[in-house]
Chains A and B, each alone.
Chain A
Amino acid sequence: MALGVARDSAAGQTASLMAQAIPVFTRADPTATRTALDEGYLSQPVVMATGTWNWLSGVATLNLEGLTLRRGELSTGAFGEGFVDRRHPHTYAHELMAGGITQYFGVQGSLFAGRGFVPFGSDDPMVRPFEKYPINHHLSQILERNVAVAAVRRGPVILEAGTFNGDEPISPSAAPQYDRFGDSFAARATFLPIGGLELSASGASVKSPEVAAGSGVDQRKASVVGRFSRSTPTDWRYALVEWARTDERAARRLTTRLSTWLGEAAVCHNGFVGAARLEQTDRPEEELLADPFRTPRPPIDLSNLGVSRWTTLTVSLSPPAVGRWFLTGRPFVEVARIGAAPGNPPGVFNAQQRYGTDRMWMLSAGIRLRAGASHGRMGRYGVAAVNEEMPMVMGTDSSSGGSHQMMGMHHTMTNPCTL
């Protein structure tokens, strides 16, 4: 199968580069230590490059959280990759994908491969209106895998299918299990009924994500997402609702079911952005280590202590960005009210015993620093990268000379609503 030429794209070469980092202060009261904790760090330090050369397109995203967030980012309720109540640092090689787009008989097609996002679930939280990731990150996205994604698009319908290695990263610098490439699969269907509205459903079969050797529990995942984004030169409206479920299976039998629903919305006027997010997410409770923010990876035999259910309301406010030359900074403050309760099965989870309370607060304040164009959407490649105006490559409008799109908005560097 040969990679095709992007017949309807501008010929020649394009390239762009951006960098971002978020100095952020977080107060969690209380958190896993049963006390209030104040921390500050540089979150989401990312360098992203995109380019096209003839028919070939590529994206490379270097994520430096392995240097700045080695102990993880304080985020009560978060879980995954051996972290709990902290978001884990992502891998240095966050994304490195290449491929091409072609078109035959009115059907656009693309094939991309490398390390990146699996065609499943919703956009990466890093390109959504909140600094803190939702708790459902590990239920609603699959990323940092060696993946090959084929996509076709005709009119308002997009179909994607991908295969990848099931093992999740075990550290920021660790290489994936290359010999496991192809042991897991995902597919996503997307429908674009009107401008700005996007409906998608996806499913995935993930083999042994938590035991790299390949003999841990498997996952069957499902997701339904509705997303709306519409902007004018001064305003922006955005909303996302999603439901996702992960079934963990051992010996082909269901062992644990984890569900989540989430709704978030943002409004921007003349650069002032207000956003709110409400989610309810099941979290697997695992053996705790002496460090209350860590769980063993891989887990050793008995490690399941039940399921907890987290309900979180997050509100975010951000005044207009300030900028000089190619640098911008957008301040923000986020407040989250967090409730924890036993899930199904409850196991031995007891929020009072674990945290001293079942109601918690989290306050975050910081500034999004950016050099260069803003982030594109993350999680879709080739003809599946939805741009309301035109097909996007790598979630970034590569034909506009570096005028990148943020979350599907028609932002340029001067758009006051750019995050």
Chain B
Amino acid sequence: MHLVATIRALAATTIASLAVIACGKDSTSPGDPGTNVASCPAIDFGPKPAALTLPQASPAALATLGNGLDTVRYQAEVAVRGTTAYTTSWSVRRFAGNKVSIWDVSGNVPLLVDSLIVNGASTTGDVAVSDDGKLLVVATERVPGSIVIYDLTNPRKPTLLSTFTNAETNPGVHTAEVGRVNGTLYAFLAIDPLGSIPARLVTVNLTNPAAPTEVFTKVIGNPYVHDTFARNGLLFLALWNDGVQIWDIGGCGTGATPAAPKVLGSVKTLGGDVHNIWWYHDPNGSKRFAFVGEEGFGTVPSASSGDIHVIDLSDLANPKEVAFYTVPGAGTHNFSVDETNGVLYAAYYNGGVRALDIRGDLGTCDPSQKALDVTSNLSRCNLRLMGRELAIGLQDQGKQVYIWGVQYLGGFVYASDMINGIWKLKAAK
């Protein structure tokens, strides 16, 4: 120990003469949620769901209806409304990922009907349609980073309303979730880190989509904030190795707003790498569970890793991980949930699309259906052993797929495939 201390002291003495360390605190808006944990009296998590006993059976194959092929750009996220789908693009393949493709998905085979080119973007990684169907919001990377907002009066011919960019969207907007809080539409932007620039969250008011306004910003995430999920006045933040943090942004009746959020609780799921979240509301009124996507290491288009983690929110200040789903050789990415039928669809990169039955109590299972993580001494239910694996899609096409995003809508599942474009599948239920 003495030797180590001596070495450290010697090194520190020498190193101290090298350079002046620029120490700067990143600015935070008034209303910084800080670390104080607030309560949330207004949210009713509903009854504890009933335990379901399901036989473990081989998952069915999701029927593939058609493919809209794109092999000149890597496809990224997908958003669907009505009979129109929008897919974004990533990095540089033959061409840069500056395109949003517009697909007619009324038939079995998606047909490309138009596209948008976002000048200056190398990736248009995330896309969302507002809940009223009026706006299309596209996140762009890299420098300077922006969200581009389109009017969807004609869904097949979006018209540019505005581009929101400022010093705090630099060097890029990785994800942009759109959600309504007490009647007002917001976009929650996860900003990339770059070099010494830290990652941050930026919240934008979209009341006037032609002139969006920033209402909140905070440096957050370890090493970055990757995604958010807004619902019922709560904001779930995917903070990578800092796990999941839950903020009151107006749903708890405590005076918090998107501009002045309050921390409610947090949880670090096993393995970290928290990538995305979905807070599930089941048809019986239970809001107890959220699903967390872990994105581990992957190589396009052959390998990926990372599990789905289920967290129990009944004690909002101390959420607990209670279950998981794992696929050997593949890892999860984005989710979409058919809440009426209780089916979670997960994009699984080289593992295609996975459909899980998420009805009932996911935190209670037979001891034979549990797995113990020795390092953390955490015992969790294994959804596969619980018979929750309903169906698998796009593993029977005779070619490699790498599924980035999925969306369930009206009995169909739409999957964006980085390698092959967009797929339309029949839903599991």
A residues whose Cβ falls under 8 Å from a Cβ of B: 1, 3, 82, 93, 96-99, 111, 113-115, 146-148, 150, 163, 170-171, 174-175, 178, 181-182, 211-217, 250-251, 253, 255-256, 287-290, 292, 296-298, 300-302, 304-306, 345, 347-348, 353
Contact = CB atoms under 8 A, between A and B. Distances in A.
Nearest to A170: B195
Given A296-B194, A347-B302, A217 B297 contact: yes
A348 B297 contact: no
B377 interface: no
Contacts of A146: 11, 15
Interface stretch (B90-98, B107-115, B280-288, B308-316): B90-98
A284 to B, nearest CB: 10
Contacts of A212: 196, 223
Contacts of A181: 8, 11-12, 15
Contacts of A290: 92, 96, 120-122, 142
B15 A171 contact: no
A304 B11 contact: no
Contact of A113 (B3, B10, B93): B10
Nearest to A169: B195
B96 A298 contact: no
B226 interface: yes
B123 to A, nearest CB: 8
B179 to A, nearest CB: 22
Classify the interface of chain A: helix, strand, loop or mixed: loop
Contact of B271 (A163, A178, A251): A251
A276 B189 CA distance: 52
Interface of B: 2-4, 6-8, 10-15, 17-22, 90-94, 96, 120-123, 142, 174, 192-196, 222-224, 226, 240-241, 271-273, 275, 295-303, 305, 419
B223 A345 contact: no
Contact of B300 (A99, A147, A306): A306
Contacts, number: 143
A1 B3 contact: yes
Q: Which 6 A-B pairs have the closest CB atoms?
A: A290-B122, A213-B223, A114-B14, A288-B92, A250-B297, A113-B11
Contact of B222 (A213, A217, A301): A213
Contacts of B120: 290
Given A251-B271, A288-B122, A304-B298, A297 B195 contact: yes
Contacts of B222: 213, 215
16 contacts: A147-B11, A178-B12, A181-B12, A213-B193, A217-B297, A288-B92, A289-B122, A290-B121, A290-B142, A297-B194, A298-B224, A300-B174, A301-B226, A305-B300, A306-B302, A347-B300
A403 to B, nearest CB: 27
Nearest to B190: A300
Contacts of B90: 287
Most buried by B among A292, A297, A301, A304: A301
A418 to B, nearest CB: 30
Contacts of A300: 174, 192-193, 224, 226
B10 A96 contact: no
B201 to A, nearest CB: 15
A147 B224 CA distance: 28
B174 A115 contact: no
Contacts of B14: 96-98, 113-115
A353 B95 CA distance: 10
Contacts of A171: 195-196
A213 B195 CA distance: 10
Contact of B10 (A82, A115, A148, A251): A148
A73 to B, nearest CB: 19
A345 B302 contact: yes
Contact of B241 (A114, A182, A215, A345): A215
B297 A305 contact: no
Nearest to A114: B14
Contacts of A163: 7
Contacts of A178: 12, 15, 21
